[in-house]
Amino acid sequence: MTLVQKSSENTIQLTQYSHGAGCGCKISPKLLESLLETQTKTSFYPNLLVGNSTNDDAAAYDLGNGTSVLSTTDFFMPIVDDLFTFGQIAATNAISDIYAMGGQPLMAIAIFGWPIDKLPAEVGRAVLEGGRATCEAAGIPLAGGHSIDAPEPIFGLAVTGLADNQYLKRNASAEVGCELFLTKPIGIGILTTAQKQQKIQPDHLQVAIDAMTTLNRIGTELAKMDSVTAMTDVTGFGLLGHLIEVCEGSGIAAQIDFAKVPLLAHAHDYLAQGCTPGGAQRNFDSFGHKASALFGSALTPDQQAILCDPQTSGGLLVAVKSEAVAEFHQVAKQHGLALHSFGKTVEASSQSHVVEVIA
Active site residues: 23
Closest CA to 216 of 76, 60, 332: 332
Question: In the chain, where does DSSP find H-type helix?
Answer: 29-36, 83-100, 121-138, 188-196, 202-212, 218-222, 238-250, 267-272, 278-287, 301-307, 325-334
The residues near 20 (Cβ < 8 Å, ≥ 6 apart) are 76, 77, 278, 279
Torsion of CA 306, 311, 314, 317, to 10 degrees: 50
- Contact (CB, 8 A) for 95 and 134: yes
* Cβ-proximal residues to 313 (8 Å cutoff; 6+ apart), any chain: 22, 23, 89, 92, 93, 96, 188, 211, 212, 213, 214, 235
Point out which residues pair with 50 in neighbouring strands.
60
Ramachandran angles phi, psi of 224, nearest 5°: -80, -5
Q: What is the Cα 246 distance to its own chain's centre?
A: 14
Cα 86 from Cα 79, distance rounded (Å): 7
Are 79 and 88 in contact by the 8 Å Cβ rule? The answer is no
| 26 close to 156: Cβ distance less than 8 angstroms | no
The three-state DSSP-derived secondary structure of 82-124 is CHHHHHHHHHHHHHHHHHHCCCEEEEEEEEEEECCCCCCHHHH
CB of 97 within 8 A of CB of 140? no
Written as one letter, the residue type at 141 is P
